[in-house]
Chains A and B, each alone.
Chain A
Amino acid sequence: MALDSKVPKGPIKDKWTDYKNKIDLVNPANKRHIDVIVVGTGLAGGSAAATLAELGYNVKAFAYQDSPRRAHSIAAQGGINAAKNYQGDGDSTYRLFYDTVKGGDYRSREANVYRLAEVSANIIDQCVAQGVPFARDYGGLLDNRSFGGVLVSRTFYAKGQTGQQLLLGAYSAMNRQIARGKIEMFNRHEMLDVVIVDGKARGIIARNLITGEIERHSAHAVVVGSGGYGNVYFLSTNAMGSNATAAWKIHKKGAYFANPCYTQIHPTCIPRSGDYQSKLTLMSESLRNDGRIWVPKNMEDVMAIREGRKQPTDLSEDERDYYLERRYPAFGNLVPRDVASRAAKERCDAGYGVNATGEAVYLDFASAFDRYGREQAKIHNIKNPTAEKIYELGQAIVEAKYGNLFQMYEKIVDQNPYKTPMMIYPAVHYTMGGVWVDYNLMTTIPGCYCIGEANFSDHGANRLGASALMQGLADGYFVLPYTIGDYLSDDIRTGKIPTDSKEFDAAEKEVTERINFFVNNKGTKSVDYFHKKLGKVMWDKAGMSRNAEGLTEAMAEIKAIREEFWKEVSVPGTAAEMNPELEKAGRVADFLELGELFAKDALVRAESCGGHFREESAELDGPQKGEAKRNDTDFAFVSAWEYKGEPADAVLHKEELEFKDIELKQRSYK
């Protein structure tokens, strides 16, 4: 099948408006006869479910947690972008569009990104009307902060809990519709397959996670908003349950999977402390505004620190290597996420990591304490302040800005970051790749849509901070509710979709057989054993820096782990009860396929772009020596993979990317 992105004709500024004016609508009386399934209740799924229900459709929403409020979106810290230009610093729809395309290293679809920028301002209006308590200034108006990679202040925030507050807003809108009976909420339910009837998505098979019952649910359209697949690495900043199953199941039934190798590895996370580690914790990007990143210059000091003979604070300025400032004088500690992550890896690979695992660098606030302290001393007219006084005044300012993060760090690491530098290391954080969708957010299965982090649409090869929340809510509140109407207008006379068809029988049988296999297999190894093994291959060979040899090995190794998994996995308990090990088994089985496709995609993309760094594609000399080199002649396309059985046999379809409104440039942060 040829890929058709269905981008409307006309100038980029008018596309969305013209499109909305021309699409077919479903009249309110007919919406009552149409059912829509929404899988996922994060920002994307939650906002979509609430809006579709409000429009009059009958919505069935699914989440594996015990409440929509607990979706992983709840954990987002920093903020949400919107082109409001409240600060009067020259922001505009075009500038947000431009920053997002450039930040994504010119690997996203222009028309989608422009639409995202266009609806961004509405999101803030909507959320304020819902009672989201965004931060305000003393005049009572909304406050903004700035985030990496941009020159304006357009990020709205609610302390360090922006995702929580936005999700609770969408949750409250859902609750209103649940109370009216327009949303039927299925908590503790996991979608395990999509059902296709006459070529269209017409329902799902789900497992009730309390009773183990397998259920059939039908609808006229299926929307998947199940989040990202970062947990393919085992360790990531994602929630423990975050998974690819819903996205992977629709892929296996015909939805193309796009750019699986585009992953964001976030530079500022708390390092791993041992083999028992179950997840990694993010320290917000905002810390890089005031923290300076370094490792010791001399190997003797590295050893002395690891063995506890020296403290980081014992090292003088000349004994420290502020490597970001050294390598990137223009941007310094504020280079984009991918660049900062690779630079940390480079130092640690060279042996300069500062903790026992050798995988940590310092994030030091000492100069911020000093700078703010002196400034405060001036403001308060303190003559000749002592070093202690300066420190005390500076510390208070840093505490007001980042107090909750410092406290979180201390609780986990048991060191006081006001007294000694923080230790950080990059960690997997976000997946830009995902299910391929057209301009309507429809996948290559008619009637099956994909929204939020689960799709590939807006961030190209790298996502800017505070843009995922924006995309999730844009998709759910403002884009999908229009585009899905155009599709559903053909279904007003279809009537209820029966669940006693042969298609439902077949899908249910497949799901049941797989579950029975797991509980009867009685192998010798736990699910986590395989998940950790997969994670290690992914991190070592398809992590921050990749090459053809490693990726080829990764494909073979993942295949071997998968084969061992299907022989040796052990799942205690039965199918007819709450069984967390069984849930994990299903998810890891899917990760074991996705991981191999990921490596294959990374192998095919023999260029460096955004978060995807191929060692073979770096600048060889000149001032940019060693930096990533993009190749627009051969790789300005989206890779969309068609499922053909084994991941290694997947077939590549290319969506060529055209840039009519933006000039392509190599990124430089020197």
Chain B
Amino acid sequence: MNLTLKIWRQKDSQAKGQMVDYKVTEISEHMSFLEMMDVLNEQLVNSGEEPVAFDHDCREGICGMCSMYINGEAHGPDRGITTCQLHMRMFNDGDTITIEPFRAAAFPVIKDLVVDRMSFERIQQAGGYISVNTSGNTQDANSIPISKHAADEAMDAATCIGCGACVASCKNSSAMLFVGAKVSQYALLPQGQVEAADRVKNMVAQMDLEGFGNCTNTGACEVECPKGISLENIARMNREYLSTTLKG
């Protein structure tokens, strides 16, 4: 198929960016979206132009690097997948595809489609851990049984890949789904209980400091999340937060 691409080009964080049109031809429907971008970039390199910078690494939906806003949707038109798992069979010959970076005040553009997600790092550093030394002198792994249900629910929350699609899809640029997922994972496990109150307080404080917006329950994040992280995690974080503030 032949396609027209409208891509956000921005030289660096200081530059003013703009949409630029490109044409690609003979794209196979079996290609992944990023392979289509490879074709475009090869074309640009061969004509001496600068290729489009975009983040990617694993190309199998798990590292969370890839982050394109395609035709107005984070990770594009398919559901339950990341940009790198999107295939060209979702598009038709002659289509025009708009490709932008994930946009949010807390995700400044570095270049073209690459954004800076260090705000996510700082939130994790504020409390996304259990304070246990890696000495190997911990107790036996089976000494505290954990119900299968709680372990499975913790696992579901823990599958967040930190991509930021939730933020990019939210009209308020809220990071509640991302933060809620981490808070929930630990809240559901006995090992996480000890520091639960401090954790939720510190992570939420950092989130506010980074300039992420408030949650107004539109649910857009859940729809676009490639890993199916559910809104239930936001509710759980709110309960955790409330109980710490009530306790003072």
Q: A-side interface residues toward B, CB under 8 Å?
A: 47, 50-51, 54, 65-67, 69-70, 72, 74-75, 84, 86, 119, 122, 124-131, 133-142, 158-159, 161, 164-165, 168, 171-173, 175-176, 178-179, 185, 187, 210, 239-241, 273-274, 276-279, 281, 408, 411-412, 414, 477-478, 526, 528, 570, 572-573, 577-578, 580-581
A69-B64, A86-B142 given; A172·B148 CB < 8 A:
no
Say which residue of A67, A74, A124 sits within 8 Å of B117 (CB atoms): A67
Closest-by-CB residue of A relative to B160 is A168
Q: Which residues of A contact B154 (CB under 8 A)?
A: 131, 133
Q: Provide the bound-state CA to CA distance between A130 and B133, in Å.
A: 9
Instruction: State the Cβ distance, B88 to closest chain A Cβ, in Å.
Output: 10
Q: Provide the bound-state CA to CA distance between A135 and B78, in Å.
A: 29
Per-residue A-contact encoding for B113-142, CB less than 8 Å = 1, 0 else: 010111011001110111111111011111
Asked if A179 and B155 sit within 8 Å, CB to CB, the answer is: no
Asked if A274 and B117 sit within 8 Å, CB to CB, the answer is: no
- Does B81 lie at the interface of the complex (its beta carbon under 8 Å from any beta carbon of A)? yes
A126-B136, A239-B58, A572-B51 given; A67·B126 CB < 8 A:
no
Asked if B87 and A125 sit within 8 Å, CB to CB, the answer is: no
Say which residue of B45, B132, B134 sits within 8 Å of A47 (CB atoms): B134
Instruction: State the Cβ distance, B18 to closest chain A Cβ, in Å.
Output: 18
Asked if B148 and A136 sit within 8 Å, CB to CB, the answer is: yes
Asked if B128 and A172 sit within 8 Å, CB to CB, the answer is: yes
A125-B141, A526-B46, A578-B53 given; A72·B58 CB < 8 A:
yes
- Does B94 lie at the interface of the complex (its beta carbon under 8 Å from any beta carbon of A)? no
- Does B55 lie at the interface of the complex (its beta carbon under 8 Å from any beta carbon of A)? yes
Asked if A276 and B35 sit within 8 Å, CB to CB, the answer is: yes
Asked if B191 and A165 sit within 8 Å, CB to CB, the answer is: no
Question: Beyond A65-B63, A125-B136, A577-B12: 11 further Cβ-contacts under 8 Å?
Answer: A66-B116, A67-B162, A70-B65, A126-B134, A128-B191, A133-B155, A141-B142, A165-B155, A175-B128, A239-B63, A411-B87
What are the 8 tightest A-B residue pairs by CB atom distance, in nearest-first order?
A140-B145, A172-B129, A133-B155, A129-B138, A122-B136, A128-B141, A133-B154, A239-B57
Per-residue A-contact encoding for B88-115, CB less than 8 Å = 1, 0 else: 0100000000000000000000110010
Q: Provide the bound-state CA to CA distance between A459 and B51, in Å.
A: 40
Asked if A133 and B151 sit within 8 Å, CB to CB, the answer is: yes
Q: Provide the bound-state CA to CA distance between A47 and B136, in Å.
A: 12
- Does B48 lie at the interface of the complex (its beta carbon under 8 Å from any beta carbon of A)? yes
Q: Provide the bound-state CA to CA distance between A578 and B62, in Å.
A: 24
Interface of B is mostly: loop
Q: Which residues of B contact A172 (CB under 8 A)?
A: 124, 128-130
Q: Which residues of B contact A128 (CB under 8 A)?
A: 138, 141, 191
Q: Which residues of A contact B62 (CB under 8 A)?
A: 74-75, 161, 164
Q: Which residues of B contact A281 (CB under 8 A)?
A: 59-60
- Does B238 lie at the interface of the complex (its beta carbon under 8 Å from any beta carbon of A)? no
Q: Which residues of B contact A179 (CB under 8 A)?
A: 125-126
Q: Provide the bound-state CA to CA distance between A509 and B34, in Å.
A: 35
Q: Provide the bound-state CA to CA distance between A161 and B146, in Å.
A: 19
A65-B57, A133-B185 given; A276·B31 CB < 8 A:
yes
Asked if B50 and A176 sit within 8 Å, CB to CB, the answer is: no
Closest-by-CB residue of B relative to A577 is B12
Q: Provide the bound-state CA to CA distance between A134 and B158, in Å.
A: 11
Q: Which residues of B contact A135 (CB under 8 A)?
A: 151, 155
Closest-by-CB residue of B relative to A68 is B121
Q: Provide the bound-state CA to CA distance between A278 and B61, in Å.
A: 14
Asked if B145 and A75 sit within 8 Å, CB to CB, the answer is: no
Say which residue of A50, A273, A577 sits within 8 Å of B30 (CB atoms): A273
Asked if B87 and A65 sit within 8 Å, CB to CB, the answer is: no
Q: Provide the bound-state CA to CA distance between A142 and B155, in Å.
A: 13
Asked if B136 and A477 sit within 8 Å, CB to CB, the answer is: yes
